[in-house]
Structure 1
Amino acid sequence: MMTFEGSHILSVSQFDREAISKILTVSAQMAPYAMRQKRCHVLEGAILNNLFFEPSTRTRVSFGTAFNLLGGFVRETVGEENSSLSKGESLFDTARVISGYSDVIAMRHPKMHSVSEFATGSSVPVINGGDGANEHPTQALLDLFTIESEMKPFGRTLDGLHITLMGDLKHGRTVHSLSKLLSLYNNITVTMIAPDALQMPDNVIATLENAGHKVILTNTVEGNLDCDVIYQTRIQQERFASPGEADLYRGHFSLNREIYQQYCQAHTVIMHPLPRDSRPEANELDTDLNDLDNLAIFRQAQNGVLVRMALFALTLGVENSLTKYEKPITWYTNKAG
C-alpha cells in the first residue's frame, strides 16, 4: 500500500484501490469536525502554505479551512504577480525557500506539470491543487467520495455504475483525474457527451477501455442521460486561445428540470466541480434544479473539506491520533443540527 506520511500528492496515478479506500475512510472520520460537532487540534502549530498562482475560490478556501479545522495555521500567496516568480525565480528555488517555512504546501499553477516540478525542490509534502489542464487529484478524490456517498442510500457501490461526463471534456482536468480513478473499479460505463472538438483526450479514454470499461462517445444529450450520475463541467474559457473561441461552445449542453425529468432516472445524481456558469448564454445547470434532492453540487463542495483534511492528516502522519486531540465546540453553530 502507498506510504502517505511525508509523500507528495501530485497525481491520481499514485493511488491503487487500497490507497483510495484509506483516503475515503479517513475523510468520513472528519465529518464531526467539519460539521462543528467537535473540534480537533491535532495539527496545532503546523503551517500550511497555500500557493495559488491561478484563480480559485473553493479549492483555495477549502484547503485553508481543512487545515484550520485540524488546528493548523495557514499562510497564503495568491497570484503569480504577488510572488517572486514574477521576478524570474524558478519553481525549484521557490519550493526550496517556501518549504523551509512550512510543514505542508498546497499549490495551484496554470502550467501543466508545474506542481510536480515545484515538488522536486520541496522538503515537505506538496499537494496538487490543479496544474493547468493536466490534473486535479484532490477534486477527483472528493468526487469519488461524493459518488460513493450519494449511491449508498440506493445500496450501490462504486462498482457497476453508469456515469455520464458532459461539457468541456478536453480541457476539464477534473474529469481527466476522475476517469483515471474510475478505471480502478469494476464494470463501469462512462458516457462522454461533448462537442467533437472538446471530447475527452484519447489517453484518458484508453485508460478506461484498457481497464475493461465501456466508453460511449457522443455529442448528443437526448437519450444519453439514463445513468446513475451526471457530471457536468463548464467551458474552460481560460484554456482557449480567445474568449471568442470558447463562446462557440458555450451553452451547448445545458441541464434543466425539464430535461432531467424527461431523460434521467429518478435517482440520477447531478454533480459539477463548480463554479457553474449561470450566465444566460451558458446556464450549465439551471437554477430550477436548486431544490432537487439529487442535485449534489453543494454537498460535493463540502466534501472537499473532508477529503483535504484527510490528506493533510495522512501526509503528516496524524490520522490515528484525531480523537486524542478533540475538544468541544464553544461557539454557536447550526451546522450540526
Structure 2
Amino acid sequence: MSLTGKHILSSDLFDRGELERLFELADVLTPVARGRQVTRILEGAVMASLFFEASTRTRLSCEAAFMRLGGGVTTTTGAEIMSIAKGESLADTSRVVSGYCDLIVMRHPEEAAVHEFAAATNIPVINGGNGAGEHPTQALLDMFALHREFTRTGVTLDGRRIALVGDLRHGRTVHSLMRLVTLYEDLTIVCVAPEPLGMPVHLLELAESRGHTVELSDQPEIGLKDADLVYATRLQTERFADRPMPYSDAFRIDKALVSRVCREDAVIMHPLPRDGRPGSNDLATDLNDDPRLAVFRQTDAGIPMRMALFSSVLGVADAVPDSLRPAAWYRPDYTGPHDAPFYKNIAT
C-alpha cells in the first residue's frame, strides 16, 4: 500500500506491513532526528500547522519533523485567532489554506471537523487529534517506541499481555493505539478503568474480531499484574468538565504499585502530558529513575516516526537513504540524567 497523497485521519488506514515499513524508515531517519545527519528531501515543501486546540508535543514535534526533512512550516494556533471566529466555514478555510502549502497537520476539539476539513481539499491532511476521537500520529510513534523496546529485549509484540489504564473512553491516543496494536497476534488486552471511563465497545469488539483476548477491570492492582506493557493515560477532564467521574487513588501508577504487581521487564508508557502534581491519579514522577519507564524514549520516537510518515505521504520515502549527509554542528550527548543505562549506550 502506498501512502503517497493520502489523508492520515485514522489508524484504520494502516496494516502491519505498512507499520513495519514505517519502522524501517524511522530507523534510517533517527540520526537526522537527533541532529547527527541532515537531509533536504523536502526542500521547498511547506507544511501548514493548524491547531484549533492547545498542543505542545504534537505541534512542535510535527513542525520539527518537517523542518528536519528540509521543508518549511507556517503555523497558527487557537480558533479565536482564525477566520473561523469570524464565521468562516471549515471547508472554506481548508480550500484557502490548501493554496499555501503541500501538507496540513490539523488538531480540532470536534471529532468530525478533521474529516470535514479533509473532504474540502486534495492535499494530504494529517489528523493531529480530533476531540475524543483519534490521534494516529501518536499511535504510530507509540508503536515505533514499543517495537524498539521489545526488539531490544529480543521478543516481539505477538503474544504479549497489554494493560491499558486510565480514561479509556475519552483518551484518543488509546483509541488509535487499539487499532494498531491489534494488528499483531494473540494478545491479551486488559482495559483498566472505572466503568464510566471504559474503552468504547466498538474497539473492544474490534480486538475480539482479530482474535485477541480482552479483559476488563476497574482495579489497577489486578489489571496491571504480569503485564508486558502498561500504557497509562490521564483523566481527560476537558472532555467532561461538568460531570464528575469516579476516579480513585488506586489509579495512581506509582513506584509502590509497580514494584508490587509489574514484571521486572515490563514497559511503562504514557502519551503525555501526565499530571505529576502530588496526589494526582496519573503516572507518578517517582518512577522517573525506573528503567521500565519508557515515556521519554517514547517521545524521542516522535520526530523520526513523523518524518517517516511525512516523507511517505509526500512520495519521497525511497529517496531518503541517498539524501543523507553528516551534520556539521556540535551536538551534546542525546540522553538525559534519568535515562536508563541501556538507552545512554544506544541513543547517542
TM range (shorter): over 0.9
Match of 1:34 in 2: 33
Segments of 4+ in structure 1 off by > 2 A? Answer: 248-252, 323-328
Q: Map 1:221-232 to 2 at 5 A.
A: 221-225=220-224, 226-232=226-232
Which range moved further: 293-302 or 220-229? 220-229
Q: Map 1:291-310 to 2 at 5 A.
A: 291-310=289-308
1-structure distance, mates of 2:182, 2:12:
11
8 Å Cα contact 1:171/1:236 also seen in 2: yes
8 Å Cα contact 2:249/2:281 also seen in 1: yes
2-structure distance, mates of 1:10, 1:96:
17
State whether structure 2 residue 198 is matched by structure 1 residue 168: no
Q: Map 1:295-334 to 2 at 5 A.
A: 295-334=293-332
Report how far residue 251 of structure 1 moved.
Answer: 4.4
TM-score, reference length from structure 2:
0.93
Report how far residue 308 of structure 1 moved.
Answer: 0.7
Instruction: Give SS of 2:272's match.
Output: coil
State whether structure 2 residue 239 is matched by structure 1 residue 239: yes
2-structure distance, mates of 1:323, 1:249:
48
TM-score, reference length from structure 1:
0.96
Report how far residue 142 of structure 1 moved.
Answer: 0.9
Instruction: Give SS of 1:144's match.
Output: helix
Look up the equivalent residue of 2:320 and give its one-letter code.
L
Instruction: Give SS of 2:211's match.
Output: coil
8 Å Cα contact 1:38/1:327 also seen in 2: yes
Report how far residue 252 of structure 1 moved.
Answer: 4.2
Q: Map 1:132-281 to 2 at 5 A.
A: 132-225=131-224, 226-242=226-242, 245=244, 248-249=246-247, 251-281=249-279
8 Å Cα contact 1:251/1:284 also seen in 2: no
Report how far residue 153 of structure 1 moved.
Answer: 2.1
Report how far residue 158 of structure 1 moved.
Answer: 2.1
Give RMSD over aligned pairs.
1.4
State whether structure 2 residue 74 is matched by structure 1 residue 94: no
Look up the equivalent residue of 2:128 and give its one-letter code.
G
Q: Map 1:29-108 to 2 at 5 A.
A: 29-108=28-107
Distance 1:251 1:61, change over 3 A: farther
8 Å Cα contact 2:221/2:250 also seen in 1: no
Q: Which runs of 5+ in 1 are unaligned?
A: none
Distance 1:252 1:99, change over 3 A: farther
Match of 2:114 in 1: 115
Instruction: Give SS of 1:36's match.
Output: coil
2-structure distance, mates of 1:251, 1:117:
40
1-structure distance, mates of 2:104, 2:85:
19
Look up the equivalent residue of 1:150 and give its one-letter code.
E
Instruction: Give SS of 2:111's match.
Output: coil
Distance 1:304 1:107, change over 3 A: same
Q: How many residues align?
A: 334
Deviations 1:1-60 (A, max 9, x none): 2x2111111111111212222222211111110121111111111101000111110000
2-structure distance, mates of 1:133, 1:26:
29
Look up the equivalent residue of 1:298 and give its one-letter code.
F
2-structure distance, mates of 1:292, 1:97:
48
Deviations 1:89-113 (A, max 9, x none): 1111111110110011100000012
